[in-house]
Amino acid sequence: MKTKKWIATAMVAGMALSASVGAYAASNIQTIKAQLNHGLGFVVNGQAYQPTDAAGKKLDPIVYNNTTYLPVRALGEALNVPVTYDSAGQKVVIGAGSTGGTTNPGTTPGSTQSGLTAVTYTAAQKETAKKAFAMFQGFETPYAPMQTAAGDKFVSVGAGGDSVTYVFDNMKVSIAPRDDSFGYDLTPVTLSNGVKGNWYKPSDKEMLTFPLGDRFVTIWSDNGKLTKAQIEAVAVHVEKASF
pLDDT of residue 27: 62
The H or E element spanning position 35 is: strand 35-36
**Distance between CA atoms of residues 178 and 157, nearest Å:** 19
Single-letter amino acid code for the residue at 145:
P
Instruction: Give the up-direction half-sphere exposure of residue 80: CA atoms within 13 A in the CB hemisphere.
Output: 7
Question: How many domains does the chain fold into?
Answer: 2
- Same domain for 214 and 153: yes
Supply the DSSP symbol for 132.
H
Query: Contact 138/144 with Cβ under 8 angstroms?
Result: no
Do 236 and 127 share a domain, yes or no? yes
- Residue 180 sits in which domain range? 123-240
Q: Where does a domain end: 56, 81, 106?
A: 81
pLDDT means over runs of 10, the chain (243 residues): 44 45 59 89 80 75 88 74 67 59 41 70 94 92 93 94 96 95 93 94 94 95 94 94 83
Residue 179 in domain: yes
Give CA–CA dist 17/70, Å, rounded: 9
Position 172 scores a pLDDT of 98
Domain end (from 48, 81, 114): 81
Residues 129 and 73 grouped into a single domain = no
Say how far apart CA 11 and CA 70 lie, in whole Å: 6
Domain-ending residue, one of 54, 81, 108: 81
Which residues, 6 or more positions from 40, have their beta carbon under 8 angstroms from its beta carbon? 60, 61, 68
pLDDT, position 113: 41
pLDDT at 105: 44
Is 102 inside a domain boundary?
Answer: no
Give 35's contacts (C-beta < 8 A, 6+ positions apart): 62, 63, 64
The CA distance from 130 to 132, in Å, is 5
pLDDT at 20: 43
- Residues linked to residue 207 through DSSP beta bridges, in sequence order: 200
Give the model's pLDDT for residue 136.
Answer: 92
> Does some domain include residue 37?
yes
pTM, whole model, 2 decimals?
0.57
In a shared domain, residues 37 and 128: no
